[in-house]
């Protein structure tokens, strides 16, 4: 019954869409197609950046009119029904489009999932394919933003910037061993995952005068030309003073850093993760920090970030004891998935998302649809 009702609602919306006419300045009637998009997990920057760009697109004389609505809710099996009457939905890193959710989306009439990010580890691609739902993403917005943030985390951890800044603000200008860092120059730095972001990071690292070791399932000539040497994971663990995790979250990369890796690590290693929280078994990380195997850690992502990130928890009790163990550790510097968050990157995220929606509306599908996952 629900399915039939949803289908008839979708039919009605579609007939309205088909009849949609847009009057130009001279009063003449030009037929424009309309695509309705529901944007999930809307935080202030999303609305502030999308609204003017959607308006500019709609006024640009294109044959397509984009109507974008926003909800603060994250996508999940319960909130999928909000998409009734929408042709497309726009998702971010912590929206969950698993099999059940996609089934509901399909019943709602959704034909396109437009990811406003690069990663799609929470989207069930197989089920989307089964229902004929296309998925597009923003494969690159600013790899510089993420690589530069990874370096910011490294330098914050290594030079104890948060603690030093707090101390100075309290008018305490003393120095002691708790603020002691190390030169990156001359150290051995490992980059695991030398894709777009990893390669930019490699270039920055060579600028420090560090020895660069890399690990990836595909070796990049660009990294080798910078002086980087591809080695095994074990060699990264054994030799590196700093390790950056820069690969996507896949079944093969889940919990790359786990309890069995701890004994292999160089004592005091600094670990930086700006990719996806699931690359690290966080309990193992806490053990590694407590046993001094891991000397410090910079995290922009966290395994269970979906329950907390992009929300204000400052007045509430956090019940995730692993998260509180990290927050309470003075050798951990944590940001809440903000590595991408530069003006350049968010402008590109929004413009590419609108382009993706426009391309979909022209009828392109599958491999012919630019930035398509399926
Ligand atoms: P990319 O696809 O260009 O590079 C990923 C690299 O990982 C590739 O070189 C690939 O060969 C390698 N890889 C894949 N499987 C591997 C494996 N099993 N072992 C080792 N290497 C493997 O991606 P990118 O643009 O460089 O982004 C990397 C990740 O950064 C994304 O997947 C995303 O999760 C994350 N990211 C985070 C933010 C943020 O704001 N924190 C922003 C953008 C991207």
CA 29–ligand 1 middle distance (angstroms)? 47
Q: Is the pLDDT confidence value at 23 over 50? A: no
Ligand 1: which residue has its CA nearest to atom 20? Answer: 216
What pLDDT does 231 receive? 98
CA 41–ligand 1 middle distance (angstroms)? 23
165 DSSP β-pair partners:
none
Give CB contacts under 8 A, 24+ apart, made by 284-287: 284/255, 284/257, 284/258, 284/259, 285/257, 285/326, 286/322, 286/325, 286/326, 286/329, 287/259, 287/262
Stretch 160-164: mean pLDDT: 98
Stretch 117-136: mean pLDDT: 95
Confidence category of residue 76, pLDDT binned at 50, 70, 90: very high
Indicate the helix (H) or strand (E) that contains 38: strand 33-39
Map tokens 């860092």 to a residue. Answer: 181
Stretch 56-82: mean pLDDT: 97
What pLDDT does 351 receive? 97
Q: Is the pLDDT confidence value at 26 over 60? A: no
Best residue for ligand 1 mutational test, from 144, 201, 247 (most atoms within 8 Å of Cβ): 247
Evaluate whether 107 touches 6 at the Cβ level (below 8 Å): yes
Q: Is the pLDDT confidence value at 174 over 50? A: yes
What pLDDT does 17 receive? 45
Q: Is 337 in the pocket of ligand 1 (CB under 6 A)?
A: yes
Q: From 335, 372, 311, 313, select the one nearest 145 (Cα to Cα).
A: 335
Q: Is 301 in the pocket of ligand 1 (CB under 6 A)?
A: yes
What pLDDT does 374 receive? 87
Q: From 211, 247, 244, 240, select the one nearest 226 (Cα to Cα).
A: 211
CA 52 to CA 64: how far, in whole Å?
Answer: 16
Ligand 1: which residue has its CA nearest to atom 31? Answer: 248
Q: Is 251 in the pocket of ligand 1 (CB under 6 A)?
A: no
Report pLDDT digits (tens) over 306-340.
Answer: 999 999 999 999 999 999 999 999 999 999 999 99
What pLDDT does 344 receive? 96
Ligand 1: which residue has its CA nearest to atom 9? Answer: 195
Q: Residue 68 is encoded by which pair of tokens? A: 């974008």
> Which value, to the nearest 10 degrees, does the dihedral of the CA atoms of residues 45, 51, 57, 61 take?
-170
What residues have CB less than 8 Å from 309, skipping those under 6 apart? 94, 302, 336, 337
pTM of the entire structure? 0.87
What pLDDT does 81 receive? 97
Q: Is the pLDDT confidence value at 22 over 50? A: no
Q: What ipTM did this prediction achieve? A: 0.99
Stretch 291-300: mean pLDDT: 98
Confidence category of residue 2, pLDDT binned at 50, 70, 90: low
Instruction: Examine the residue annotation and report whether 337 is marked as an active-site residue of this protein.
Output: yes
What pLDDT does 4 receive? 61
Evaluate whether 352 touches 371 at the Cβ level (below 8 Å): yes
> Can you state the percent helix, strand and coil of the chain, rounding each to 5?
40, 20, 40
Catalytic residue among 74, 137, 276, 303: 276
Q: From 206, 211, 259, 274, select the one nearest 239 (Cα to Cα).
A: 211
Ligand 1 atom at minimum distance from 197 CA? 26
Q: Is the pLDDT confidence value at 179 over 50? A: yes
CA 162 to CA 143: how far, in whole Å?
Answer: 25
Catalytic residue among 74, 116, 137, 305: 305
Confidence category of residue 96, pLDDT binned at 50, 70, 90: very high
What pLDDT does 6 receive? 54
Instruction: Examine the residue annotation and report whether 303 is marked as an active-site residue of this protein.
Output: no
Would you list the DSSP string of 79-146? TGGGGTT-SEEEE-TT--B-HHHHHHHHHHT--EEEESSS--TTB-HHHHHHTT-EEE--S-S-HHHH
CA 129–ligand 1 middle distance (angstroms)? 23
What pLDDT does 19 receive? 45
């Amino acid at each position: 019954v629900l399915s039939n009702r949803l289908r008839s609602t979708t039919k009605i919306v579609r007939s309205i869409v088909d009849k949609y006419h847009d009057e130009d300045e001279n009063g003449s009637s030009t037929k424009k197609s309309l695509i309705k998009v529901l944007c999930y997990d809307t935080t202030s920057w999303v609305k502030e950046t999308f609204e003017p760009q959607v308006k500019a697109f709609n006024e640009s004389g294109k044959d397509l009119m984009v109507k974008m609505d926003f909800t603060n809710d994250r996508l999940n099996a319960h909130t999928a029904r909000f998409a009734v009457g929408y042709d497309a939905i726009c998702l971010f890193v912590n929206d969950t489009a698993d099999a059940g959710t996609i089934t509901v989306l399909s019943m709602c009439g959704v034909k396109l999932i437009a990811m406003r990010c690069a990663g799609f580890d929470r989207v069930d691609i197989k089920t989307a394919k089964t229902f004929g739902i296309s998925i597009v993403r923003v494969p690159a917005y600013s790899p510089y933003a993420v690589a530069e943030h990874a370096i910011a985390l490294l330098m914050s951890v290594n030079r104890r910037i948060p603690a030093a800044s707090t101390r100075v603000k309290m008018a305490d200008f003393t120095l002691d061993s708790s603020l002691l860092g190390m030169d990156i120059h001359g150290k051995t730095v490992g980059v695991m995952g030398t894709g777009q972001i990893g390669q930019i990071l490699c270039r920055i690292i060579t600028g420090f005068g560090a020895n660069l070791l890399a690990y990836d399932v595909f070796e990049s000539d660009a990294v080798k030309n910078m002086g980087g040497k591809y080695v095994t994971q074990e060699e990264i663990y054994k030799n590196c003073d700093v390790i950056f995790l820069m690969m996507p979250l896949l079944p093969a990369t889940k919990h790359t850093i786990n309890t069995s890796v701890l004994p292999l690590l160089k004592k005091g290693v600094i670990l930086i993760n700006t990719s996806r929280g699931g690359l690290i078994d966080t309990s193992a990380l806490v053990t590694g920090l407590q046993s001094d195997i891991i000397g410090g850690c910079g995290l922009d992502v966290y395994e269970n970030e979906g329950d907390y990130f992009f929300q204000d928890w400052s007045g509430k009790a956090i019940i995730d004891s692993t998260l509180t163990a990290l927050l309470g550790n003075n050798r951990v510097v944590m940001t809440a998935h903000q590595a991408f968050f530069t003006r350049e990157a968010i402008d590109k995220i929004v413009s590419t998302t609108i382009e993706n929606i426009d391309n979909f509306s022209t009828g392109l599908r599958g491999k012919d649809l630019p930035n398509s996952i399926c």
